[in-house]
Amino acid sequence: MSGPAVLKNMTYGELEQFVLSLGQKKFRATQIFRRMYEGCADFDEITELPLSMRQQLQETAVLHAVSLKERQVSSDGTRKYLFEIAGGDTVESVYMRYKYGSSVCVSSQAGCRMGCAFCASGINGLNRNLTAGEIVDQITAVARDTGSRIGHVVVMGTGEPFDNYDELIRALRIMHDSRGLGIGARNITVSTCGLTDRIYDFAKDMPQVGLAVSLHAPDDEIRRQLMPVARSCSMDKLLHVCRDYTEITHRRITFEYALISGVNDRAQDAEKLAARLRGMLCHVNLIPLNTVNENEFQSSAREKAGAFAEILEKRGIQVTVRRQLGADISAACGQLRLNRES
């Protein structure tokens, strides 16, 4: 026996059909869709609806797909959230303030099966995929808590988004719908560790949404040590697919590169990376690694990051060093969830 309908799992068209199935007029879907993405806490706040319909919805549907379990607030304004989802599992989101506005990093899975050696997200493996509603509701819950309009979203939290591809695409379409959150496609970025078949699908399905690829190494030897996915896909193949992506979409691709002391942060690593990326429409985002107690990896010093970036710049590669936010809270992906499970 199925439970109540989760409205945030629905696209606008599906919500229209649900409203009609209740014997209500189709235009009621517009009112519900708009108000639930404005951050309504419950159906009683949607006062445009008659009382009888609000009561009907309370009996047949639920408005939210996640519930807040824990919040950590950094001195720099960053907020780390732990949300509970159906079945009792938990996922994380991060709210960040930038000069251009507010951004939220959301999770796509409870856990992860990719097994990257430096990441806390996959230490206990994958529990389950998130539904589209559970992905989207992280944004609305953060907006409600901060009182901010969220203008940018990155799907870079716990999980491999392309390992949950169908629900990811549904979530992106819901985020972008102008009748709800109305987040511009170019203000959304999805990160993958390099599932090449899905990169082609993504180029076709979401050509305006940004793509970030977790590279984290200048060659196959180091990448295979850090990322199990690299054992079935060489860097040559991955970068070939990435070049195809830029030609199909005419969009710049971002390569994420977590700097790990003594592993991938040497001058020769920067030279090798620059040679591999030469001529590609790309940008490298150097990330000071957040320390995870469960592994031995340490972040490179800020000075080392600057020297690495300088080499890339001299070789014509666009690069930035990510500003470190939330350093005084459980900033590493999966760390807050892991702390609660242990």
Place of tokens 């050696």: 117
Please check whether residue 15 is in contact with residue 28, taking contact to mean a CB–CB distance below 8 angstroms. no
d(C-alpha 165, C-alpha 161), whole Å: 6
Runs of H (alpha helix) within the chain: 12-21, 27-36, 51-60, 132-146, 165-176, 196-205, 220-226, 235-249, 267-277, 302-314, 335-341
16, 40, 92, 116: the catalytic one is 92
**Of 112, 116, 193, 333, which residue is the catalytic one?**
333
> Which residues lie across from 103 on neighbouring strands?
96, 152
- Is residue 92 part of the annotated active site? The answer reads yes
Active site residue 242: no
68/74 Cα distance (integer angstroms): 17
Q: Cα separation of 97 and 86, whole Å?
A: 29
For the chain, counts of helices (H) and of strands (E): 11, 14
- Going from the C-alpha of 110 to that of each of 91, 118, 131, 152, 173, the distances in angstroms are 6, 18, 10, 22, 21
Indicate which residues carry an active-site annotation: 92, 333
